[in-house]
Chains A and B, each alone.
Chain A
Amino acid sequence: MKKFIFFTPLIIIFLILSMLLFALLSQNIGNKKTINSVLLNKPIPTKTLLSLNLNKLIDLEMYSGSPFLVNFFSSWCEPCKLEASNLEKLSEKIPIIGISYKDQKEDTYLFLDKYGNPYDEISYDSDGNIAINWGVYGVPETFIINKNGIIILRHPGPITTNVLKNEIIPILDEINL
């Protein structure tokens, strides 16, 4: 028993070092700098949005029955420009609702003119409250919603070709698109 006490520091340190090694080797910890979404597998937090160009309401309930995407973007965001073409490709398979985050309307229009408009409908979030409601912490962020109105994927950051191929398409295939 007494001798065992002398081994306890070794055991404790060994456990700590193993944990650090694991953290270092795994791609998913710490350095990844993304925050997991707690809204996964929950229903969408907003049902109606104000439309950008016409003073009408976008009723997200109308989109239930089949899957759709929600994408937060802005004209001042560099990575948003990068994902524009991939969003264009996606928009052929699935409707995308765009939410312009903290932007001027004119700038949003210019952005869409320049980089293409993949959106079925566009809304705007001038004070950032819609973003907070969706647990968004930066732009761009994209959500995949299934036909029952449940969020099944949240991707922070641009939809790069890699992300498109390895994350988005598989999910869409799963829900049969």
Chain B
Amino acid sequence: MNNFIVELGHIALVSALVLSVYQFVIVFFKNEKNYIIIPNIPVLVFSTTLFSFLTLIYAFLVSDFSVDLVSKFSHSSKPLIYKISGTWANHEGSLLLWILILTFFSAICSSLKLPERFHSLLSSVQGLLNSLFLSLCIFTSNPFYRSTLIPNDGLGLNPILQDLLLAFHPPVLYIGYVGLSVSFSYAIAALINGEIDKKWAALIRPWIILSWVALTLGITLGSYWAYYELGWGGWWFWDPVENAALMPWLLATALLHSVIVLEMRNELKAWTILLCILGFSFSLLGTFIVRSGVITSVHSFASDPERGLVILTILFLSTAIPLCIFALKANLFHKKTEINFFTKEMSLIINNFILVVSSFIILIGTMYPLFLEILNGSQITVGAPFFVASLSPFMISTLFFMGIGPLIYWKKNSLVHFIKIFRYPLLFTLLIFLFFITFLNLPLMFVVSFSLSFWLIINIIYLILDNTNILTFFKKDSKIKSLSKYHLAVCVAHIGVSVFAIGAVSENYFNEEVIESVKPGEKISIGKNYLIFDGITQKMGPNYISEIGKLTLLNIDGEIITQMFPEKRLFPIERQSTTEVAIHRKISGDLYAVLGDGDSSKGYTLRIYYKPLVSLIWMGALLMAVGGVFSLIANYKKRQIHQNI
């Protein structure tokens, strides 16, 4: 019975491929009849893919070890939720998940109301993407391959991956990546169609915002997971795979802002299209890095040169060809833009520039060891110090321009006006900077970053006060009005950046660490508080054995603040162990405790960190995402109003 269902899933997948090829080619045979109505091909492609995916989940759920994937990555004793999420915790399954989202978005696009010629081109491009990825899956990474020998039980899932947050990390991230493929297809369709204007910008914008929100959340989830799971208190390692997600995010942020300029002022057409193409290319590049083994990384799936070759082909087709079209259609962008200096457009362009330059610096840093080794065999490492050193000036500058942008106007050019708005914020920021440097004697980099985050916050507050008329409240009869949804989105998102920046630099510069070997009853001081180690208890979990340490946190007066239980888990089937860190979270800082090896006679090794303001990192990122969601809502409301008019 199981066999039959899984086979159906395989057949469904192949059907999806056939249908998606049809989706791609039909535009070449199109006549007056609107293909979308009968039958709705993209929806069919999605339905068959969905069915296929569900059968794969089913195979994992019932532990059908005749499916090779299940026997390699699952086990009958795994908790239910991880049996399900284990479906996509491997290369083949995650690729199918990617395809599922891809076909889903293509199905949605097919049911939107769009100009006809553009719509059919769009559907065709998406059909091509669907076909390419389905082919990649079926021919080189087929999740439905059978085991040559059916084992009694599976090999199990890496215990580190048996985590709820991490189960969500791929789907959310893929929504981001696949969302970028949608803006990519909008761009290609527009290039071929020959019309790139405000209307097109309005159509593509929600997709860009959606991808951006998803990427922000996906990256944050991954980073937060690394923080509490890996046990070193780090949250970003400039690992190639992390960089591979960061680059599309930076490009998506740039795209997000560039499309605003396009919608408002009909400028930056070429740039926006280019970003649409590059955004998707970089997300494919990321896919290539994770799955081909060319660049070693902590995150790599099992590497396979053959897969790498197919991915590279897809990368080539979806990058080189669009860029050719882009170059050939340069006549669409012939107008020389007139952009004055102290305008909103200019600050958006500058920040766009900064974001894209940062993206390329990360690309170069990630690829350089490979490049050098190919060139003359030399091996070097480009680690965190390079990225931090080269990117800091750009990240700091971007904070500055973010403060300026929302407060100045489109089109108009006025230095006087500029000074009038920013004289007090500049003054306050400078005062803060001088105060921190001279009286608090803090490191320069920290003070600069902090001052600029402060600058950003001041300007946001000013924006709020100005737009709600609070500032002019006492003059004449100006009434207080509420902040427009759009401004609310901007403020929340930008404050998020500020909060994130403060959290990141605080954690970096004021992180404290204590490592000691303690016997039960002994204490460890950290900061003004201290921890008493109460010993170890053992416990059995569903598929692991754990050693749990008990720590009591006391303040300087001896009052108990809380208890912490750092843990070590041994997973007998996978023969691996994990540490479960104990974290006492407060906004002012996290207390982070890790249990090491030892025994009751010699004592146990405990590592305790105090990380000031580290929660601001996650909170800031969440705020950014919330701002993005507000922006989506604002955008939706605006389109509703336009449609009703």
- Give the number of residue pairs across the A-B interface with Cβ within 8 Å: 73
B374 touches A29 (CB 8 A): yes
Q: With a CB–CB cut-off of 8 A, which chain A residues contact B315?
A: 17
Q: Which residues of A (1-47) have their CB < 8 Å from a CB of B? A: 2-3, 6-7, 9-10, 13-14, 16-17, 19-26, 28-31, 33, 35-36
* Cα(A9)–Cα(B279), bound, Å: 13
CB nearest neighbor in B for A35: B379
A33 touches B316 (CB 8 A): no
Compute how far the CA of A11 lies from the CA of B245 in the bound complex, rounded to whole angstroms.
23
Cβ–Cβ contact A9 & B379, under 8 A: no
A25 vs B373: C-alpha distance when bound (angstroms): 14
- Chain A residue nearest to B370 (CB atoms) is A23
A14, B294: Cα distance in complex, Å: 17
Q: How far is B288's CA from A20's CA once the two chains are assembled, in angstroms? A: 10
CB <8 Å contact, A20 and B281 = no
Most buried by B among A9, A20, A23, A36: A20
Q: Are A31 and B303 in contact (CB under 8 A)?
A: yes
Tell me, in angstroms, the Cα distance from A16 to B278 when the chains sit together: 13
User: How long is the Cα–Cα vector from A172 to B36 in the complex, in angstroms?
Assistant: 72
B296 at interface, CB cutoff 8 A: yes
The reply to whether B320 and A10 form a contact with Cβ atoms under 8 Å apart is yes
Q: Chain B contacts of A20 at CB under 8 A?
A: 288, 294, 312, 370
Q: Does B274 contact A (CB under 8 A)?
A: yes
Tell me, rounded to whole Å, the shortest Cβ–Cβ distance linking B231 to chain A. Answer: 24
* Size band of the interface chain B makes with A: 20 to 34
B309 and A24 contacting across the interface, CB-CB below 8 Å:
yes
Tell me the complex Cα distance, A14–B321, Å: 10
CB of A10 within 8 A of CB of B327, answer yes
Inter-chain contacts of A21 with B (CB < 8 A): 312
Q: Which of B278, B293, B294 has the largest count of A CB atoms less than 10 A from its CB?
A: B294
**Contact between chains at B294 and A31 (CB < 8 Å):** yes
Chain B residues contacting A17 (CB-CB under 8 Å) are 312, 315-316, 319-320
Q: Are A24 and B312 in contact (CB under 8 A)?
A: yes
Q: Is B393 an interface residue (CB 8 A)?
A: no
- Complex: chain B residue closest to A31, CB-CB: B293
Decide: B312 and A10 in contact? CB cutoff 8 A: no
In the complex, A10 Cα to B274 Cα: how many Å?
A: 10
Q: Which residues of B contact A2 (CB under 8 A)?
A: 330
Instruction: Check B161 for interface membership: any CB of A closer than 8 A.
Output: no
Report yes or no: A24 in contact with B305, Cβ–Cβ below 8 A. Answer: yes
- Other-chain residue from B295, B303, B324 in contact with A10 (beta carbon distance below 8 A): B324
What's the least CB distance linking A156 to chain B, in Å? 13
Chain B positions within 8 Å of A9 at CB level:
274, 277-278, 323, 326-327
A33 neighbours in B (Cβ, 8 Å): 296
Q: If the complex has contacts A9-B323, A30-B373, are A16 and B316 also in contact, measured as CB distance less than 8 A?
A: no
Q: Mark B348-384, 1 if CB is under 8 A from A, else 0.
A: 0000000000000001000100110110010100000
A33 to B295, CA, bound (A): 10
Chain B: minimal CB distance from A157 (Å)? 17
User: Contact: A6 with B327, CB < 8 Å?
Assistant: yes
Find out whether the CB atom of B323 lies under 8 angstroms from the CB atom of A10: yes
The CA of A30 and the CA of B363, in the complex, are separated in Å by 16
Expressed in whole angstroms, the minimum distance between the Cβ of B421 and any Cβ of chain A is 34
In the complex, the answer to whether B278 meets A31 with C-beta atoms within 8 Å is no
The minimal Cβ–Cβ distance linking B255 to chain A, given in whole angstroms, is 14
- Quick one: which of B274-333 are within 8 Å of A by CB? 274, 277-278, 281, 288, 292-296, 303, 305, 308-309, 312, 315-316, 319-320, 323-324, 326-327, 330, 333
B434 within 8 A of A: no
User: Closest chain B residue to A23 by CB distance?
Assistant: B294
- Residues of chain A within 8 A (CB-CB) of B294 are 20, 23-24, 29-31
Q: Please provide the chain B residues from 253 to 276 with a CB less than 8 Å away from any CB of chain A in the complex.
A: 270, 274
Q: Are B319 and A13 interface neighbours, CB within 8 A?
A: yes
Of chain B, the residue at the smallest CB distance from A36 is B379
Known A20-B312, A31-B303; contact A13-B370, beta-carbon cutoff 8 A: no
| Chain A residue contacts of B367, Cβ below 8 A | 16, 19
B288 proximity list for chain A (CB < 8 A): 20
A6 near B330 with CB under 8 A, answer: yes
Q: How far is the CA of A28 from the CA of B374 in the complex (A)?
A: 9
B279 to chain A minimum Cβ distance, whole angstroms, is 12
Which single member of A14, A30, A35 contacts B295 (CB below 8 Å)? A30
- From residue B46, how far is it (CB to closest CB) to chain A in Å? 30
B383 CB, nearest partner CB in chain A, Å = 15
Contact of B326 with A6 in the complex, beta carbons under 8 Å: yes
How many angstroms between the C-alpha atoms of A22 and B436 in the bound complex? 51
Min CB gap B321→A, angstroms: 10
In angstroms, Cα B64 to Cα A109, docked, is 48
* B327:A19 contact, CB within 8 angstroms: no
Residues of B within 8 A of A25 (CB): 305
Q: Are B370 and A19 in contact (CB under 8 A)?
A: yes
Known: A10-B324, A23-B370, A24-B305. 9 other contacts (CB 8 A): A3-B327, A3-B330, A7-B327, A9-B323, A17-B319, A22-B374, A28-B377, A30-B295, A31-B294
Sampled A-B contacts (24; CB under 8 Å): A3-B327, A3-B330, A6-B326, A6-B330, A6-B333, A9-B277, A9-B327, A14-B320, A16-B367, A17-B312, A17-B315, A17-B316, A17-B319, A19-B371, A24-B309, A25-B305, A29-B373, A30-B294, A30-B373, A31-B293, A31-B296, A35-B379, A36-B377, A36-B379
10 A-B pairs closest in CB distance: A10-B323, A6-B330, A6-B327, A31-B293, A7-B327, A30-B294, A23-B294, A24-B308, A13-B319, A9-B323
